[in-house]
Amino acid sequence: MMSEQIRQAIEEAGLIPVLRARSTAQAHALVRAMIAGGVTVVEVTMTVPGAVDLLRELRHEYAGQLLLGSGTVTTAAEAQATIEAGAEFVISPSFHPDVVERTLEMGKLSIPGALTPTEVITAWRAGADYVKIFPCSAMGGASYLKALLAPFPHLKLIPTGGVTVQTAESFLRAGARALGVGSDLVNLAAIDAGKPETITETARAYLQVLARVRAEMQAD
């Protein structure tokens, strides 16, 4: 996919589940449950055992159905390996200029992490397509996101950390371009308990919030 297509797909979806799992089997079960709930984008973190191989497997299994990205990427080598395996975007918890550079060289979207105003603008000027605000909840959540956008309204921010079904609306109204969602959706306990439907229902709930809030904001 071209960068603009990836960007459009991420913003249309509005939801980026952060996939962390203890095994490949658990990861596959999580993805199946999320897709059943309407999820179309997944970030596979490097903390998953065999993350690069998992990306290849998911690309093969869900070709044309799922937009894949890699997460917790902190080196240019990791960025390249995950892109070659199928990642269309690369996310980091922190800002690494070499990761941004390699990702852009390979024609994919770069989403470095940052927190302070200085870090955020530095990452943006390095060529980031979006900046991941992490851990957003530790700084006040949606109110912090809104405060960042006051002097930098042109920035495209994706909050991660503290995003739940209950807080999703406040983040969207504060200006989030998409939501990075962790354990509130990517629920390992539900998989371990044999209740993937819990994840499916949560995914649907997120998408309902996204659809409703976007419709209300367009109408305003």
Say whether pLDDT at 200 is over 90. Answer: yes
Strands (E), the chain: 15-19, 41-45, 67-71, 89-91, 109-111, 113-114, 131-133, 157-159, 179-181
Query: Dihedral sign, CA of 135, 141, 145, 150?
Result: negative
pLDDT at 139: 93
pLDDT at 122: 98
Query: Once rounded to an integer, what is the mean pLDDT over residues 24-47?
Result: 98
User: 131-133 and 157-159: which strand pairing?
Assistant: parallel
Active-site residue, from 43, 57, 78, 88: 43
Structure confidence at residue 220 as a pLDDT band (50, 70, 90): confident
Residue 191 backbone phi and psi in degrees, to 5 = -65, -45
Active-site residue, from 11, 132, 195, 201: 132
Q: How far apart are CA 135 and CA 80, in angstroms?
A: 25
Query: Once rounded to an integer, what is the mean pLDDT over residues 121-133?
Result: 98
Model confidence over 53-76: pLDDT tens digits? 999 999 999 998 999 999 999 999
Q: How far apart are CA 35 and CA 56, in angstroms?
A: 17
Model confidence over 91-113: pLDDT tens digits? 999 999 999 999 999 999 999 99
CB within 8 Å of 159: residues ≥ 6 apart: 132, 133, 134, 136, 141, 142, 145, 171, 176, 179, 180
pLDDT at 2: 86
Q: How far apart are CA 68 and CA 87, in angstroms?
A: 5
Say whether pLDDT at 1 is over 90. Answer: no
Q: What's the predicted TM-score (pTM) here?
A: 0.96
Measured CA angle at 203 (ends 36, 74), to 5 deg: 100
Q: Let me know if 197 is a catalytic residue.
A: no
Alpha carbon 201 to its chain centroid, in Å, reads: 19
Give the CATH number for residue 60: 3.20.20.70
Q: Which domain holds residue 165?
A: 3-219
Q: Let me know if 146 is a catalytic residue.
A: no
Structure confidence at residue 137 as a pLDDT band (50, 70, 90): very high
Model confidence over 140-189: pLDDT tens digits? 999 999 999 999 999 999 999 989 999 999 999 999 999 999 999 999 99
Q: Count how many domains the chain has.
A: 1
